[in-house]
Chain A
Amino acid sequence: MSTNEWPLWEVFIRSKQGLNHKHVGSLRAADAEMALQNARDVYTRRSEGISIWVVQSALITASDPADSEAYFEPSDSKVYRHPTFYDLPDGIEHM
């Protein structure tokens, strides 16, 4: 009996209203086609989506949590990068 585990896949679903695919979870599958079918069966049972992406987890390069200070903190002090210094004309809504 084989004890090899199938590779892990990350699943992204686009909902009916959504414009972008969102990460919803992961699953195991032997190949891409099976990963798609499994994603359909596991993550879209309650009409959650109209499009599915799957990608092997091993192919994702992630940032290291240990680097998070160096990566993300410097932008905390750069308030001028947010467009909050403009005077808005009257009558503009939803800003």
Chain B
Amino acid sequence: MEHTYKFLLRIGDDSLILGQRLAELCGHGPILEEDIALTNISLDLIGQATNIYTYAAQLEGKGRDADALAFLRLEHQYLNTVLVEQPNGNFADTLVRQFFFDVYRKLLFEHLLTSTDEQIAAIAEKSLKETRYHLKHSSEWVIRLGDGTELSKERAQFAILDLWRYTDELFYMDETEIQLVSAGVIPNLKDLKPLWMEHVLSILNIATLKLPENQGFFGAGRQGRHSEYMGFLLAQLQYMQRVYPNMQW
């Protein structure tokens, strides 16, 4: 139960924090159509977070609700990967971050469909439809930017070199995941990595983009240790609830 709760926070926080990042782009998209597309994805992710937190809060059984989990934890209590909290940067940074995440998320949800935890399987089924579209959207853009103009290719390639180091953390496993794998609640994330790599490479090949040859991996967000950007993101996310506790509208 405790392990399931922690795992739910890990994937719920990924949704919420990336949703918050994309929400920052509302009104700032490169064109009107893309502005709406990114905001739609943001809302999908925040909706997924709501479902995941609601179940997590129920398992925790301490009278907290989804809002309390979303808005009233401290930085080190968020367990999202460092990848999703990275700033939006330029459009290529935003879309490459999204692409790396979407491929992982699609694989994760596909494997959670057969979870022994029915609630998790139901959340995965509902979310997967949205995630498939997110992946279609981000893949199209990675191809378009990589195989586009000289400038777009340069930016996409730079975004890949910049964000690559955070991708291994998507497959992080500790005692929590190991216990859940043996209980059949989640797939072995180490087995998802080669599938992820294969999918990423298939798109990058079409996009004429390359992966870095040798680069160390970084990121301890799953254990609550975040990058310098996280505090600022949370300050914005939590401001209203901190200043006006329990406010609603």
Residue with the highest number of chain B CB atoms closer than 10 Å, among A1, A2, A28, A34: A34
| Majority DSSP secondary structure for residues of B touching A | helix
Residue positions of B touching A, CB distance < 8 A = 31-34, 36-37, 40, 133, 136-137, 140, 144, 149, 151
Contact of B137 among A2, A6, A37, A42 (CB under 8 A): A37
Specify which chain A residues have a CB less than 8 angstroms from the CB of B140 in the assembled complex.
Answer: 33-34, 37
How many cross-chain pairs have Cβ atoms below 8 Å apart between A and B?
30
Q: Residue of A at shortest CB range from B37?
A: A41
Contact of A42 among B36, B133, B144, B149 (CB under 8 A): B36
**Given the known A-B contacts A37-B136, A37-B140, are A27 and B149 also in contact in the complex, defined by CB atoms under 8 Å?**
no
Return B134 CB to nearest CB of chain A, in Å.
Answer: 11
**Given the known A-B contacts A2-B149, A37-B140, are A45 and B40 also in contact in the complex, defined by CB atoms under 8 Å?**
yes
Specify which chain B residues have a CB less than 8 angstroms from the CB of A15 in the assembled complex.
Answer: none
Q: Is A38 interfacial (CB 8 A cutoff)?
A: yes
Contact B40 A38 (CB under 8 A): no
Contact B144 A38 (CB under 8 A): no
**Given the known A-B contacts A28-B31, A30-B144, A33-B140, are A38 and B149 also in contact in the complex, defined by CB atoms under 8 Å?**
no
CA distance A45 to B40 in the complex (A): 8
Residue positions of A touching B, CB distance < 8 A = 1-2, 6, 27-30, 33-34, 37-38, 40-42, 45
15 A-B pairs besides A1-B151, A28-B32, A38-B37 with CB distance below 8 A are A6-B31, A28-B31, A28-B33, A29-B33, A34-B140, A34-B144, A37-B37, A37-B136, A37-B137, A38-B34, A41-B33, A41-B36, A41-B37, A42-B33, A42-B36
Return B242 CB to nearest CB of chain A, in Å.
Answer: 31
Return A34 CB to nearest CB of chain B, in Å.
Answer: 7
Specify which chain B residues have a CB less than 8 angstroms from the CB of A45 in the assembled complex.
Answer: 36, 40
CA distance A2 to B174 in the complex (A): 48
Q: Residue of A at shortest CB range from B136?
A: A37
CA distance A33 to B34 in the complex (A): 14
